[in-house]
Amino acid sequence: MLDIKFVRENPEVVKENIKKKFQDEKLPLVDEVINIDKEIRALKQEGEALRASRNDLSKQIGALMREKKIDEANKIKETVAKNNARIAEIDPLLAKLEDDLRSKMLIIPNIVDPSVPVGKDDSQNVEIERFGEPVVPNYEIPYHADIIAKFNGLDKEASGRTSGNGFYYLIGDIARLHSAMLAYARDFMIDKGFTYCIPPFMIHSDVVNGVMSFAEMENMMYKIEGEDLYLIGTSEHSMIGRFKGQIIKEEELPITLTSYSPCFRKEVGAHGIEERGIYRVHQFEKQEMVVLCKPEDSMKWYNKMWSFTVEFFRSLDVPVRTLECCTGDLADLKVKSCDVEAWSPRQKKYFEVGSCSTLGDAQARRLGIRTKGEDGTYLVHTLNNTVLATPRGLIAVLENNYNEDGSVRIPKALRPYMGGKEIIK
């Protein structure tokens, strides 16, 4: 959410940003919030003047009563009563206008970084850099569900009976490899100096509204019926929510955290849920990284964070590339974002395995997360990045370590978590 003062002073900048995001239907909101803000400020000024007048008049009434000037005192009391009646009108009107202002401000997208390429959708995202040689072997790489089936590692028929489409059972060595990757991702980030956390897997609606836009919430989040609780779509939601309404000491920044959680997503949209495989599902597990820092440090941390994900996948012998998300592909709260994509030797193309984003002070403003230093109190910046989301990461490891004889080589980094096993046959 933007600062209303910024919108008031820079309406054309805000409108141009909306155009860059191809959301022209939101352009009228800029003038609407400026007008509402003007009305709010006028009413506040009137209310403050009435309260000040009431205080002065009350003193006059006291003086007149002491002097036994009852009639004069009563006349002033009538003025005080009128002032009180007007204040009583102003207060609920102000509350309604402030609610209206906030609801509209929540819809106006954050200002994107000047370095973000302008584009309408993800088809116009821009490749930045490749890491590792994308190899296509001279033998066929089966579909990932078929690779897993060779090891009796997947049961979607049973999950269909228990839970429906979009769920799965992982079994045996495949389930163990899945868990090994998450354990390695946890330790990888701890070695980078991040503090390990396991957060709540459900959060209240005010936290949801603080960390994401309403449209994202509707498409992603599962609500617990009859309660003000939502299942998290990523641990970032509850990790950032942990600091809601807090003032953090400036010397404690940056706060660098890595968190594990299951994630639950509706996956509403044109892409749909994958029928046979486990690439797009309703439930998965994730190791995340979250940073809260000073505004001047956010871009430095952004570049560090995506580089950690690249390093992680390269340590698993998976070639990756980074992709700069264009303006039209950025969620409304994001300032800048890039995807990390893994090489698929079967498809002969890259696919997304992680996403790194800086959100500026948007989440902090919504949730009231501030820091206090020598120069006063100000909003922190928040960033998040995927270390590993699996089973999608599992697919990348299986395909890139698949052997001609149908076995799968276990990357060296994962072998300590697999009891020293080097290959799955």
**How many Cα atoms sit within 13 Å of 218 on the Cβ side?**
4
Task: List the domain boundaries for the chain.
Answer: 4-105, 122-424
Peptide bond preceding 11: is omega within 30 degrees of 0, i.e. cis?
A: no
Q: Is the pLDDT of residue 350 over 80?
A: yes
The CA-to-CA distance between both ends of the chain, in Å, stands at: 52
Closest CA to 294 of 218, 217, 378: 378
In the prediction, which pLDDT does 219 show?
77
Structural tokens at position 278: 């486990």
In the prediction, which pLDDT does 271 show?
61
Q: State the helix-helix crossing angle for 27-66 and 11-20, rounded to 10 degrees.
A: 150
Written as one string, the DSSP assignment of 338-376 is: EEEEEEETTTTEEEEEEEEEE-TTHHHHHHT-EEEETTE
Cβ atoms of 303 and 385 within 8 Å: the answer is: no
| pLDDT tens string 214-228 | 777 777 899 999 999
Name the pTM for this structure. Answer: 0.90
The SS3 of residue 259 is strand
Which amino acid belongs to residue 236? E
**With 0-12 CB in 10 A as exposed, 13-18 as middle and 19+ as buried, what is 397?**
buried
Question: What percent of the chain has a predicted confidence (pLDDT) above 90?
Answer: 83
Cβ atoms of 97 and 36 within 8 Å: the answer is: yes
In the 8-state DSSP scheme, what is residue 402? B
Closest CA to 144 of 276, 273, 282: 276
**How many Cα atoms sit within 13 Å of 297 on the Cβ side?**
17
- Give the pLDDT band of residue 318 (cuts 50, 70, 90): very high
Q: Is the pLDDT of residue 404 over 60?
A: yes
Q: Is the pLDDT of residue 269 over 60?
A: no
Written as one string, the DSSP assignment of 190-220 is: HHTTPEEE---SEE-HHHHHHHS-HHHHHHH
Asked if domains 4-105 and 122-424 share a fold, the reply is no
Fold of 4-105: Helix Hairpins (1.10.287)
In the prediction, which pLDDT does 274 show?
64
Return the CATH architecture of domain 122-424: 2-Layer Sandwich (3.30)
| pLDDT tens string 15-45 | 999 999 999 999 999 999 999 999 999 999 9
Give me the chain's average pLDDT, please. 94
Q: Is the pLDDT of residue 179 over 60?
A: yes
How many angstroms separate the Cα of 317 from the Cα of each of 98, 147, 260, 285?
Answer: 53, 18, 23, 21
* Alpha carbons 219 and 265: distance in angstroms, whole number: 8
